[in-house]
Structure 1
């Protein structure tokens, strides 16, 4: 099986901005489908070609930054953004997901993250931009 890697850049690295600045949800609280607090958006991984948010890094747990968990969540799992980010999944689903590695050793295959959440990856033919990019509704 051939793994597919696509470079994603942390928005906080400052090397590029989002195509739509209103999609910058860093610092916002993240709630799950049951209104349970999951954590907050610590970082956004951006597709450098289209400058679109592709994955959120959700930080949870710990006190004063100690023992924090940083999980990857596709923006496709976001049902809406208002005063907080609302997910279509439970906090338990996110917590059991994939840990974010800020300094990976080599290319990263994000396919398993998308598969775990049940979404097609953004690089597949026919991909539809998620609702996340339209916050007016």
Structure 2
């Protein structure tokens, strides 16, 4: 089975989330220890279900210069209130996978899910931990 799946940036404008309340772009991201990780800059969603699958977390830099953009599965979100809280540390995110907004070819997101310890959304038995279930 192929592990390359077309994920579309929400910011591209041609595809909307199934539930607009799931748009957490611009929200601060805190880790499991209450350390600031960064901010949700973009959401990658699958074109079939129109569900968020990966967050693009921007961190570091000044006024957008020298920022790092890391991919984090939405499965790592423990809750959403005034900020997005992750089940992982800021160091775990920082050591993770870079986001390339214009990849040179098909992207295999399997290693991102594996690194964070989650089952990819395309595999049998995947149970979606979804944003609305975590707003409390």
Q: Same fold (TM over 0.5)?
A: yes
Superposition deviation, residue 37 in structure 1: 0.2
Alpha-carbon distance in 2 for matches of 1:5, 1:96:
22
Unaligned runs of 5+ in 2: none
Structure 1 runs (4+) greater than 4 angstroms displaced: none
Mapping 1:39-54, distance limit 5 Å = 39-54=38-53
Q: Equivalent residue for 2:100?
A: 101
1:131 Cα deviation after fit: 4.0
2:82 aligned residue: 83
* CA displacement 1:103-136 (0-9 Å, x = unmatched): 0011000000000000000000111011423244
- TM-score normalised by L of structure 2: 0.97
Question: SS where residue 112 of structure 2 aligns?
Answer: helix
Give the CA RMSD over aligned residues.
Answer: 1.1
Deviations, residues 73-118 of structure 1 (Å, cap 9, x unaligned): 0000000000000000000000000000000011000000000000
1:26-63 Cα shifts (integer Å, max 9, x gaps): 00000000000000000000000000000000000000
Other structure's SS at 1:134 match: helix
Structure 1 residues without counterparts, runs of 5 or longer: none
2:119 maps to 120
- Paired residues, what number? 136
TM-score normalised over the length of structure 1: 0.96
Written as runs of structure 1 = structure 2, the 5 A alignment for 1:3-22 is 4-22=3-21
